[in-house]
Structure 1
Amino acid sequence: MWFDPACPWAWLTSRWLMEVEKVRDVDLTWSVMSLSVLNEKADLSQEYRDLMEQAWGPVRVIIAASQSHGAKVVKPLYDAMGTRIHLGRMKDYEQVVAESVEEVGLPASLGSAARQKKYDAALRRSHRRGISLVGTDVGTPVISVGEVAFFGPVVTPAPRGEAAGRLWDGTLLVARTPGFYEIKRTRTQSPVFD
């Protein structure tokens, strides 16, 4: 799964996938993509542009942590950041990064990666890898299973138990259907983080 810690929909999808792991034989890997990269050339409101500027920090820190401590730290760091951003509703991403790095037991110095563009090339490679599987008409999250990849699902609240498994089964069924591209309806509910 490709995620951006700032995306509430990716957060919900990740919580769903954690439920899927309990009821289906799946082995998850976690990779970053970036809403900031995705929206670089988009015409955005100033409020969203400000959020995208701040959103560089967490993904840079995850890239830096992965480079220096291995892929095993990606998911715990994402969990720590997402818990603060989405459940704790923290808006100060510097504080999110500092507390998350500490929670995961990583050196506090990793927090400085949030402002260091030297991690952007690796971030862009990870982002490009995810987007290359699904095309440019999508955002985060991206999921890849074998030869098939897709955006989403966008779901709230995250299904649990066997309901999570059934959604997984159905998602794979439609995603693996040749020529199938999209199911969509207007979102009428904001993310529910229960």
Structure 2
Amino acid sequence: MSDTPTGKTPVDFWFDPLCPWAWMTSRWMLEVEKVRDVEVRWHVMSLAVLNENRVDELPEEYREMLATQAWGPVRVVIAAQQKFGEQITGPLYTALGTRFHNRGEGPTLEAVAGALEEVGLPAELIEYAGSNTYDTELRASHQEGIEKVGQDVGTPVIAVPGADGEQIAFFGPVVTPAPKGEAAAKLWDGTLLVASTPGFYEIKRTRTEGPIFD
């Protein structure tokens, strides 16, 4: 994949605004943009789509969350992207995530409406929260990310150009709090190293604390 128009290395990032761990990773990537010559390109994926064929395996509370909260925010993001261009995706995600996670408002319609106003988007976009108008585009964006990394992961998915020019995709990293400055750069360098190692698949340990929003 070629460089972005700015000449920086592209990093494709798939997120669902509902996911607090994707939010943490996205804040880390914004730090990486400050200290490495990269540019993030934001794409939506959907926890609802990801889990729709395995709902019976999920805890009841999680099933309820997917049914009542997961579709609205990501539908609004994809509608905004389709109507106003891909460049609005990142700012809208930041506005949504700040309200959902940092401010503790949760994925309410009021929070979504506030985020739309914050980035200067029309208030009527909130109507797409309950509409399947752009579900085809949503599923296509979701599938693009999943095809790069496989079905046994969640959000976020990150894809970067490998040594041969083909994209290398991975899930995560899952980290809290989001590293800043040189710590963000070191994690980025290490992530690229392991992700580009042939045959490497996974490093993981049990999480002992939840997301720390700062």
Same fold (TM over 0.5): yes
**Residue in structure 2 matching 1:28, options 21, 24, 40:** 40
- Structure number with higher strand proportion: 2
Aligned to 1:190: 210
2:39 partner letter: D
The CA deviation at 1:180 is 0.3
State the alpha-carbon separation in 1 of the partners of residues 75 and 88 from structure 2: 13
Question: Secondary structure in 1 aligned to 2:94?
Answer: helix
- Equivalent position of 1:179 in the other structure: 199
Gaps of 5+ in 1: none
Of all paired residues, the percent bearing the same amino acid is 63
**Residue 15 of structure 2 contacts residue 156 of structure 2 at CA under 8 Å; is this kept in 1?**
yes
Give, in whole Å, the separation in 2 of the partners of 1:108 and 1:11: 24
Q: What residue in structure 1 maps to residue 113 of structure 2?
A: 98
- For the pair 1:16 / 2:31, whether they are aligned, the reply is no
Q: Distance in 1 between matches of 2:103 and 2:135?
A: 27
* Superposed CA RMSD: 0.9
1:45 deviates by: 2.4
The letter for the 1-side match of 2:45 is M
Amino acid at match of 2:64: D
Q: How far did 1:186 drift?
A: 0.6
Q: Give the aligned residue type for 2:62.
A: Y
Partners of 2:108 and 2:135 in 1: how far apart? Answer: 17
Amino acid at match of 2:110: Q
> 2:14·2:156 contact (CA, 8 Å) conserved in 1?
yes
Counterpart selection for 1:167 from 178, 187, 190: 187
Distance 1:88 1:141 in 2: 21
Correspondence for 2:88: 73
Following TM superposition, the consecutive aligned residue runs of length 4 or more in structure 1 with deviations greater than 4 angstroms are none
* 1:92 CA drift (Å): 4.9
SS at match of 1:49: helix
User: What is the SS of the residue equivalent to 1:29?
Assistant: strand
Amino acid at match of 1:30: W
Of 61, 75, 95, the residue aligned with 1:47 is: 61
In structure 2, runs of 5+ residues without a counterpart are 1-12, 162-166
Q: Which residue in 2 is equivalent to 1:113? A: 128
Give the superposition deviation at 1:55.
1.2
- How many residue pairs match? The answer is 194
Secondary structure of the equivalent of 1:143?
strand
CA distance in 2, matches of 1:31, 1:87: 21
Q: 1:19 to 1:50 in 2, by over 3 A?
A: same
TM-aligned CA deviation for residue 72 of structure 1? 1.1
Write the distance in 2 (CA, Å) between the matches of 1:76 and 1:132.
25
The alignment's TM-score, normalised by the length of structure 2, stands at: 0.89
> Of residues 167, 173, 178 in structure 2, which corresponds to 1:153?
173
Q: Are 1:63 and 2:83 an aligned pair?
A: no
- Structure 1 pair 165–34 and aligned structure 2 pair: CA distance change class (3 A): same
What residue identity is the alignment partner of 2:61? E
Distance in 1, matches of 2:140 and 2:191, equals: 26
